[in-house]
Structure 1
């Protein structure tokens, strides 16, 4: 997919069209213009028209949602672009922030808060200065071109999101093929840990995808601890899953082969590599 131009509306900006444009820039690094589209723009499939124009016609590269009925399933221009790129279903599974973003853009903060079970004031407390600054700077631009600071940042955001979505499923398959579930004895009964061995080449972030993988395990395989390669050394990291109260890794901080244990007890790093020793450290960490 290649465009000659990406076009979105002028004036105030929202996370919806901002992220949609980020994704399109990652696929087609062209100029981005903020103005109302003409009929010629809408008819030209080489021009991506985002969040404006009153038309959803992906075959003509038009991605607007404002013409949908008011009771339509929450769908914004970001949803439409993700669908066009073939990653929407994975985004709904792996991006927890996507569905709230769809609601917020199409239903507003009050209905979104009601749907989430929180009030509007609580939603406001989740605002980030990163979001505020990026959207304000985007709103102040009429055109962005390759080399412009904000254009480059937007392309980074799009590239990282697409990389995450397109590689996470491969990562989950890797974890499924290589990981083991260890069952360990504790004072109140057996408990489990997931062990991911070191493989070559080692991923840049060895723990990537583990949380998502564990989240989808059947209840009988639920785990309290994760053991995975330490990206800064030849040993392993030990961490408690979902802040499980049964583990406190400060209990092993004096061990000769443990070189780091967080003061809050949720993670430790060890030079140990043998499964039996790793299991022993886990047992000692059980409260």
Structure 2
């Protein structure tokens, strides 16, 4: 099928955008730690089922080092990073949080330069500058929420840290990942996040407040589809895009999730499309595409 990879990459971004909107809705009644736990439990179950239906081994014979590396990546990139992102999303709102999330690409570039000895192109440098400018616009933009400066900057800081940890968790496994089954790596990475996150919640003095909302079925209406879209479908379609299209093209199309999130936030969350916010989203999307290019 012509352009199959491009279609999969584009749909992956749309799935992630839908998940972000539902995560924002869920965040009104479910704390970030509890929400992250729920999405990973459901995501692990569905991903394991997918592997079994596809006839793939859930625990293939691989070295202990491979398992430990992917588990560590999940602990950093899912348990820590996703929790920070959900906190940031609750504070900033979907559109501003998505602009901050565009920092993922610059962080990957910087870490790749440092740890993998990759080179930075002029286009990538321009993309990084556009993203940084977009984040500055969001930080000084007066939103309809009228957030106190301290709360605004804390939301931005949490979002920045989330993208840094996500980028680090990917760059650390990038070279080894090329020789590993993608479905298995995705599943074990989710498991790593869950293994790290579950004890933190269970030993936390406020664990009842984190877990009780998960038992209320009314919260499942947003949580369950968010987990399916964000933890399963978007990842599977992302992998398909990477497999059937050039990596630079697929990653650029993935970054269009910024635009999808903005549009869905305006439609479903009633976030106001302020001119500066529109400019920031466009700049961040353009910067992310440039930063993802070869």
Task: Decide: shared fold, TM above 0.5.
Answer: no
Instruction: Return the structure number with greater relative CO, CA threshold 8 A, min gap 6.
Output: 2
Q: Which has the higher strand share?
A: 1
> Highest CA radius of gyration, 1 or 2?
1
TM range (shorter): under 0.3
Q: Which has the higher helix share?
A: 2
